[in-house]
A = this chain, B = another copy of it.
Amino acid sequence: MDTFFGALSDPTRRAVIEALVTGPRPVGELHAPHDIALPTFLKHLKVLEASGLVRSEKKGRVRIVHIEAAPLAEAEAWLHRQRRLWEGRLDRLGALAEQLEREHKSDGDRR
What is the interface of chain A, defined by CB distance below 8 A to chain B? Answer: 1-6, 8-11, 14, 17-18, 20-23, 29, 32, 67, 69, 72-73, 75-76, 79-80, 82-83, 85-87, 89, 93, 98, 101-102, 109
Contact of A79 among B2, B32, B76, B109 (CB under 8 A): B76
A21 partner residues in chain B, CB cutoff 8 A: 82, 85-86, 89
A22 partner residues in chain B, CB cutoff 8 A: 85, 89
A73 partner residues in chain B, CB cutoff 8 A: 83
Contact of A82 among B17, B82, B102 (CB under 8 A): B17
Q: Is the CB of A5 within 8 A of B5?
A: yes
A10 partner residues in chain B, CB cutoff 8 A: 2
Q: Is the CB of A86 within 8 A of B98?
A: no
Given contacts A6-B6, A9-B9, A79-B75, contact A86 B67 (CB under 8 A): yes
